[in-house]
Chains A and B, each alone.
Chain A
Amino acid sequence: MLTLILVIFLGGAILTWLGRKINPLLGDLLFLVSVILPATMFVMNIKVGDTIAQHTLLGIDLVWGLSPLAHLFSLVVVGLGVMLSIYSISYMRGKEKVGMYYFSFILSIMAMLGILVSRDWISFFIFWEIMTWSSYLMVILNGKKVQSIGIKYFVFSALGAYSMLMALVIINSQLGSFMLSDTFNNFQHLSPANQILIPVLLLVAFGVKSAVMPLHIWAPDAYSNSPMGYTAVFSGALSKMGVYGLVLVIISMTTQLPAGSLIRIIVAWLGGFTAAAATLWAITQDDGKKLLAWSSIGQLGYIVTGVAIGTPLAMLAAMFLVVVHALFKGSLFMAVGAIEKQTGTTDFKEVNGLIRKMPVTFISSLLSIIALAGIPPLAGFVSKWMLYEALIQNHNYLLVVLLFFASTAAFLYAYKFLHGYFLGQEEPEWAHVKEAPMSMTIPMLLLALTTFVLGTWPQLLFNSIDSAMQYLGYDATNGKLWTDSVLFSQWGDKVALQPVLYAIIAVFLFFAIFLYFKGRKATRYVTTKDISTSGEIPKEWENLTFKVNFMQPFERAIEPFLKRQIEKYYLGFGKGMEALFDFTRRIYTGNGQTYAIYAIVFLALLLIFRVSLFG
């Protein structure tokens, strides 16, 4: 069954690509079918179990099954995949290379599910690489800066993938098995050096995908350069594969190591720095895509920190954030896509005042932004609260301050995002803009509403997370860290989410009604030109838009930080390597005499070192 599902994905990808050549409509249809059909089959038929399908290639057993942990992640992949496939139909209409988009989309969904069902490292790696190159096609799909952004993405992905490859062949040589379970169970049988080397290599591998500093520099460009319909998958699901791997490595490997706690602390701090630095960079962006890209990196930083700390509460928080981040970031990327579709630009400096033109997009963005900022009563708060409690109780006080700083600074870009697109002066230039079609707005609204529901009833998700965590060897958290919609911590602190929601709704309704109905007749709507600027009424032609250098004062405050870009060091390294390569290339002079001399010298060298070579 599982094999069949993957084959349907694969065949569907190719058929869609071909169908698109014949007739665009046929292509759209095939695309929907080949995402939704196997996705539904997956949800309906694939139950948690150790071995569901098995193949043998090259004498290596490829074992596929679904662990509770993978099941949790597969929810994200399937959910986002289906939502975005519906969204993509409208989003990609009238764009170039739609066939390739559909092809890569389906393949990357397949690859992600493949990663999750892999119970051995080889199938894991195969699907991992398929995911890499299919997402690579997406990154360069628009043909902009292909050689810099695309290659940067691929080089980092390859760095990660090859670290993994190296780790897994070493595992195989030492343990004689590629099975994930054997690796974790027999981890103690590895030599001491390898016990350090392998987790580190795997951390690099998964750190690249989950964009942990300093391996993150591909991410902002790759995210923002890929089509928005896919960026949501990229940031919501694809990066979570890195998190999935990190969970496996950190929980199942480093806990068996004496030095494991050190590794975990380092990773946790890297996650914290990622969160803080990415947030600051997000604040400086003037493009919604880029802003969200950096924001994704920041959010992944929280997740990584949570996973690395690894206490039950931290794990619960991280896993919850995995799902919730997929929801709200998916919704936000879709919103940006809708804006791009309707206005043709995603630059804050160009487009503004869309709130009255695209209300549904605004509402889903607002909900998602509130969730992103971690403000109650939306789901982002639940994970933030649990993460902070976990960090404080685990005595990571400075780390918690760093994360607090990051999430406070996140308000800045959250506001910048909302203000940039929806608020501010309404220019006549954008008067023609209409709301995006239903097939785009409904998926984004659905995702945003889900974050709302999960914000008060997180137990809907906690059950899945709980079984995933029990699979990883944690005790049951139900009743200890949460009961129904009440969150606890070991110290006995708690937040009751339902009373919070009711209080908020009550106060909100009371004042909203008061504000709306008090003297309603007397209050009339006026345009944003009709304002008082220091007592003057601005003329029609006066441009009062405030978008350029929106966060300038803050940017000035963090200027010393902004000067230090990791990317510059990488670029320097890359340039140096290319220069070295060029120098090496000159060995091939193109001159026959030189080549003859090489041959003679080589012969002479071999003869001279004959004794040391052959004894």
Chain B
Amino acid sequence: MEHILIKILGAIATFILAFIVGMTYGGVVRKITARVHNRLGPPFYQNFIDALKLFSKKTAIHHGVMHFLGPAFLMVSSVVSLMFVPVLIPGGDSWYNSWFSNMIYDGDLIFLIYIMVFGSLGMALGAGQTGNPNSSIGITRGLSQMVGYEIPWVLALVSLMLMYKTTSIVDFINVQQETGTWLMFANPFAFIAGLFALMGMFHYSPFDIIGAPAELASGPVSENGGKFLFTMMSSGSVFSFVKLTLFVDIFMGGASNLVVLVIKTFTLYMIPVLYGIVSHRYRTEQAVTFFWKWPLFFGLLAVLYAVL
């Protein structure tokens, strides 16, 4: 019983960490984007203000059961996947390390890939019930793009699985600890392919086809406000954190303490962000087929490299 209680407390701690880091990153990105655009931009804590405002607002309308369940599914996906990603190197020496062990030994990468999709489906269902055509259009775009980046992503992961004969994230971290080489150097092609996929996952320009403000009136979220939008926003922040941490765990040796984690994830995060700032949006089919060109090539190269 006590064990479970500790687990739950640890999970809450992880969630809060992910929430804060994700929100802050979001605010910082807004600031950076603004500066690049030669605007002043909001303060970096603007996202917290937004979230607080949404949380405290009354929500006037809903469109039915799925409208409630959609955001809940979204949360399930981000929180549960958070539980399975090692935030810090397991068995590390920082005093708070054991807080973040969560359920990392209970699942592997393939499981994680699938549970991460759960949210998209939930989001899609919630958006679907609102009846707003823009939402549905956004959803179909999002799902299409997912099919696109999944290929290089899986190719990259498969190549690593092949090299180290494991699908467990913890094992990947351990391998990097033992050999002292980050996997991004051990198999650079996998890293490149993975990076492309990461760009797709983050939906920044040129892959911001889901929200596409000018076209779709922010797409799937357009019918949501108040508690719904708050949940979605929190989930999005947590999810960003999950993706970044996962990437750091696999390719960049994991993090032994929170400072390292923040440095690594932030650096990584800047790649899609900065690339996004200077790119224009793709058409949906371009966004999909983009991943079937160079990213696919690098993915195949990664597998080839792993085999040889």
Contacts and interface: CB of A to CB of B under 8 A. Distances in A.
Q: Are chains A and B touching directly in their complex (CB below 8 angstroms)? A: yes
A492 interface: yes
A532 interface: yes
A523 B231 contact: no
A290 interface: no
B128 A423 contact: yes
Contact of A408 (B61, B108, B140, B146): B146
A507 B146 contact: no
A523 B158 CA distance: 47
A496 B107 contact: yes
Interface string B121-142: 1001100111111101101110
Interface stretch (A264-272, A306-314, A373-381, A590-598): A373-381
Interface stretch (B33-41, B66-74, B247-255): B66-74
A612 interface: no
B158 A400 contact: yes
B303 A398 contact: yes
B24 interface: no
A401 interface: yes
Contacts of A500: 80, 103, 106-107, 111, 115
A504 B125 CA distance: 18
Contacts of A524: 60-62
Contact of A392 (B69, B105, B146, B158): B158
Interface string A413-440: 0111011001111100000000000000
Interface in B197-245: 217, 222-223, 226-228, 231
B223 A531 contact: yes
Interface in A531-545: 531-535, 544-545
Nearest to B56: A519
Given A492-B166, A495-B111, A523-B62, A507 B131 contact: no
A411 B146 contact: yes
Contact of A512 (B68, B114, B120, B132): B68
B166 A493 contact: yes
A100 to B, nearest CB: 39
Contacts of B154: 400-401, 404-405
B136 A408 contact: no
A500 B84 CA distance: 10
A422 B69 CA distance: 14
B71 A515 contact: yes
A571 B219 CA distance: 43
Nearest to A508: B76
A155 B72 CA distance: 50
A533 B217 contact: yes
A475 interface: no
A508 B72 contact: yes
Contacts of A504: 76, 80
A364 B73 CA distance: 17
Contact of A423 (B60, B129, B155): B129
A415 B124 contact: yes
Interface stretch (A157-165, A174-182, A325-333, A383-391): A383-391
Given A411-B143, A493-B168, A494-B106, A515 B151 contact: no
Contact of B144 (A425, A508, A551): A551
B249 to A, nearest CB: 15
A553 B125 contact: no
Q: For this complex, into which size category does the number of interface residues on chain B fall?
A: 35 or more
Contacts of B75: 507-508, 511
Contacts of A412: 140, 143-144, 147
Contacts of A586: none
A530 interface: yes
Contact of B110 (A389, A499, A519): A389
Given A519-B227, A554-B284, A546 B61 contact: no
A236 interface: no
B283 A553 contact: yes
A397 B158 contact: yes
B129 A355 contact: yes
Nearest to A496: B106
A370 interface: yes
A491 B231 contact: no
A557 interface: yes
A556 B285 contact: yes
A405 B133 CA distance: 27
Contacts of A494: 105-108
A508 to B, nearest CB: 5
B110 A385 contact: yes
A416 B125 CA distance: 10
A507 B81 CA distance: 11
A550 interface: yes
A515 B106 contact: no
Q: Nearest 3 CB-CB pairs, A to B? A: A528-B131, A423-B128, A553-B284
Interface of A: 353, 355-356, 359, 366, 370, 373-376, 381, 384-385, 388-389, 392, 395, 397-398, 400-401, 404-405, 408-409, 411-412, 414-416, 418-419, 422-426, 489, 491-496, 499-500, 503-504, 507-508, 511-512, 514-516, 518-519, 522-535, 544-546, 550-551, 553-554, 556-557
16 contacts: A392-B158, A392-B167, A400-B154, A404-B151, A405-B147, A418-B125, A423-B66, A426-B131, A493-B168, A503-B79, A511-B76, A512-B72, A515-B227, A525-B62, A553-B141, A553-B288
Given A531-B131, A554-B285, 9 more contacts: A397-B158, A397-B159, A408-B117, A496-B106, A518-B59, A528-B129, A529-B131, A533-B134, A553-B285
